[in-house]
Amino acid sequence: MQSKEPVSSVRTRAQASEMLLCSPSTGERLTSRVPSSPPVCSHDEYQTAADWLRTHTRHRPEVAIICGSGLGMLADTLGCQESFAYSDVPGFPQSTVQGHAGRLVFGVLKGKMCVCMQGRFHMYEGHTLSKTTFPVRVFKLLGVKTLIVTNAAGSLADGLQPGDIMIIKDHINFPGFVGLNPLIGPNDDKFGPRFPAMSNCYDKELRCLATEIGKQLEITGLMREGVYAMVGGPNFESIAEARLLHRLGVDAVGMSTAPEVVVATHCGLRVFGLSLITNKVVKTYEDSDSVNHEGVLEVSRLRSVTVQQLVTELIGKMDINNNGPNDAGTKF
């Protein structure tokens, strides 16, 4: 049947989708601020950043560390340091969150060449997921084999108290359920396959090694394994959301990490992750506690030395030549 709509009001599909990305009140284009996965970064953009870093430092890192909220002091422990502000590295976005300094620090830890992100990018800052995870692919191009991710997270599990360290066994990438996944868009086969498996994304050997190191450091009372869930943020959870997460088997909730781990696993990096538990997530209406970012940073700082010791020993003892089960051979 023929449409009765006057020709002047018939919109093309492109025009209609463009309109969806405009502010309804001002008509201003929102495209650059909507945290949707596309537009994706091109291979050249990652390569340009990696080439720039190669020409500006002689460090050739094998291990990359992403520091969570308030955990940036980890980077200060690197020897022979050389650092770069994110604003100087081509293609890097800016850190906008307190407790995320915005520096890339190269150096040596326990004889291993490392690069440390003193500050990460979050989806809620308005970065596309491609930009949020940009450094991970740059690290891959730099020759990194293992990625260590750390974060601050709220606990939903009775056995996890503020100050505890949760070794991440697995994650739930909630934004991914609604199509916010950094791998959406054309697949870059040079990095990895169209449909990567995520069943081994947190390396089992590294988790076991961390548990052994925990025994040696006599911090096993603070440590246990668990499931991390990423929510979009930036607000903390409502009580009903907290109860839902608890029922779903989530041990700790945060606003980062999963996209970085998805991209790292896609390109064959071996991943170790830990959450520093900074607060209990409020699950009952009778509880008058409420979480805030300052409190999160305070607990992170109080435990940062313990996290540093654990990560340092792990790097010292890890076998850098074991690339884990996801490695399909380097393509670069």
41/153 with CB nearer ligand HPA: 153
Contact by Cβ (8 Å): 116, 315: no
127 annotated active-site: no
Pair of tokens at residue 207: 């988790």
Does 236 bind ligand HPA (CB under 6 A)? Our answer is: yes
Helices and strands in the chain: count of H runs, count of E runs: 9, 9
323 annotated active-site: no
Contact by Cβ (8 Å): 275, 133: no
Residue nearest to ligand LQZ7MJT6 (CB): 68
Distance (Å, rounded) from C-alpha 152 to C-alpha 140?
Answer: 24
CB 274, min distance to ligand LQZ7MJT6, A: 11
Which of these segments, 43-51, 173-181, 251-259, 315-323, binds ligand HPA (CB under 6 A)?
Answer: 251-259
23 annotated active-site: no
Which of these segments, 48-56, 101-109, 216-224, 251-259, binds ligand LQZ7MJT6 (CB under 6 A)?
Answer: 251-259
CB 2, min distance to ligand LQZ7MJT6, A: 53
Contact by Cβ (8 Å): 228, 251: yes
100 annotated active-site: yes
256 annotated active-site: yes
Residue from 124, 130, 252, 258 carrying the catalytic annotation: 124
Pick out residues in 269-288 that bind ligand HPA (CB under 6 A).
278-279, 281
**Residue-by-residue DSSP string for 153-169:** EEE-STT--TT-EEEEE
Does 165 bind ligand LQZ7MJT6 (CB under 6 A)? Our answer is: no
120 binds, among ligand LQZ7MJT6, ligand HPA, none (CB under 5 to 8 A by kind): ligand LQZ7MJT6
Does 157 bind ligand HPA (CB under 6 A)? Our answer is: no
Q: How far is CA 126 from CA 18, 32, 53, 94, 206, in A?
A: 18, 8, 25, 11, 32
Which of these segments, 85-93, 139-147, 158-166, 249-257, binds ligand LQZ7MJT6 (CB under 6 A)?
Answer: 249-257
Distance (Å, rounded) from C-alpha 125 to C-alpha 32?
Answer: 12
Cβ-based neighbours of 60, under 8 Å, separated by 6 or more:
113, 142, 143
Does 156 bind ligand HPA (CB under 6 A)? Our answer is: no
Contact by Cβ (8 Å): 136, 266: no
122/224 with CB nearer ligand LQZ7MJT6: 122
Residue 196: asked if its preceding bond is cis (omega within 30°), the reply is: no
**Residue-by-residue DSSP string for 163-203:** T-EEEEEEEEEHHHHTT--TT-SS--TTT--SS---TT-S-
How buried is 179 (Cβ within 10 angstroms: 0-12 exposed, 13-18 middle, 19+ buried)?
exposed
95/146 with CB nearer ligand LQZ7MJT6: 95
256 binds, among ligand HPA, ligand LQZ7MJT6, none (CB under 5 to 8 A by kind): ligand LQZ7MJT6
171/266 with CB nearer ligand HPA: 171
Does 296 bind ligand LQZ7MJT6 (CB under 6 A)? Our answer is: yes
CB 46, min distance to ligand LQZ7MJT6, A: 22
CA-based nearest residue to 125, from 153, 150, 93, 171: 93
Kindly list the catalytic residues: 69, 100, 122, 124-125, 152, 255-256, 279, 293
Footprint of ligand LQZ7MJT6 (CB under 6 A): 68-69, 97, 120, 122, 151-152, 233, 254-256, 293, 296
